[in-house]
Structure 1
Amino acid sequence: MKAIILAAGRGSRMEMLTDDKPKCQVTVFGKTLLQHCMDTLQSAGFSVKDIGIVTGYRKEAISEQGVRLFWNSRWSTTNMVYTLTKARKWLEQEPCIVCYSDVIFHKNVILRLKQCQDDIAIPYFTGYWDLWSKRFSNPLDDLEVFRHAGGKLVEIGRKPECKDQVQGQYMGLLRFSPFGWRQVEKLIDSPLVEKIDMTTLLQKLLENGNIIYVYASHEPWLECDTAQDVHLYEQMYGGSWPFI
């Protein structure tokens, strides 16, 4: 099994924090977002040689020893799914866990994804409302629909009309088996791949008859999207992240 970290983006909403480095190199709790991700993956049993990073903006700023580096040269005009395709050789060969590089998560989430046998699976964060209430005056302005039933995803991605349509928060973590990845390839073999985001892809997979399994995560999780997020989280946790 491999782990793939998506780290191509600049993160313009980080403002001056990403003028000279990619978003994944922003420091939170004393270390970079990328190092948080690397540390958690290794604590969940991944060796460095089984971790790949897809770079893009300021790729020279990423030089993690021993990891496999992929590159999205079109990072400024493409989206997360296109970035993921740069690691398709790994995805075609064995199960992979995919991680966004701007989230901080607990190792138990990764262990759960490693242990399951699903072709496509995602965890969801149950504590999203409290977190989004700290980040936004109206959480529904930023949240997306996330509905599930019987351990399977039912709908994801559109703007919610009410809180009841948000049964969890997509965490920027996914598992694909080679078979699951082939289902993705069937959908993105077109110009669509250049612009599609991950939740839109997941919704299209559902509409195409694929099953996406979901797992509830109650462990702490953070999305670092803006400079304000970084400041908020430092205040919330007293400057140090006590979990892995």
Structure 2
Amino acid sequence: MDIKKDVQQQFGKNAASYVSSPIHKDGKDLLQMVQMAKLNGLEHLLDIATGGGHTANAFAPLVKKITAVDLTTEMLVAAENFIGKNGHRNVEFVQGDAEKLPFEDESFDIVTCRIAPHHFPNVDLFIKEVQRVLKPKGQFLLDDNVVPENKEFDQFYNTIEKMRDYSHFRAWKKSEWIQKLEDSSLEIYEWHRFEKTFHFESWCANMKLSEPEKEDLNKYILEASQKIKDKFRLVIEKEKVFSFVGEAIILKAIRR
């Protein structure tokens, strides 16, 4: 089964969890994304991998029109229900692949993508597509989990994410994102690093992990080196992982 089928299967069965997930729903990063955007109210915005629809919902009152695209039908249904209940009528929903967007060149003033690219098997194709569909001087707002520059920390975080969620492909380093975007003629305008506290139980519950799967993940994390435990500020209670701290970036780039 390829990674995109994995994504459809995983998010299809967990669509409702993502709409109500605190990290997706309540994150301060969403407010930061909105504040970083330069808006006049006339924009057509594309939200790639809209998931539960939180980004599209946040921007809906501020722009003229939003196109929310996602690979998974169930996520689009959940997002449409969520956004509709909030009274927004300027959002259309389209099924599509982030690496092969079903839109014409230079169609959008703004492109957003939040907490999703770590699922994309070819992030370079995704960036190429963002660059293609953006109008000249258009804004790209990216928000995703990243890994530390250190190889050992990188491997640890990507391993536990893959154990928790088989549709996880790779969280990239901050330096990799900057390199990839600048290679695609997307000029970095502003970026922020922020930390995210993951509570083990809810983190696993989002993916509906079985008890044996949770035990294996708990065991793997507990057996990590002290250097890793310190870096990720692991909190352990009674031989159980309670929480750990990861990192993410919000980045704004301009198509030149």
TM tier relative to shorter chain: 0.3 to 0.5
Which structure shows the higher strand fraction? Answer: 2
TM-score by length of 1: 0.38
Between the two structures, name the one with larger relative contact order (CA 8 Å, sep ≥ 6). 1
TM-score by length of 2: 0.36
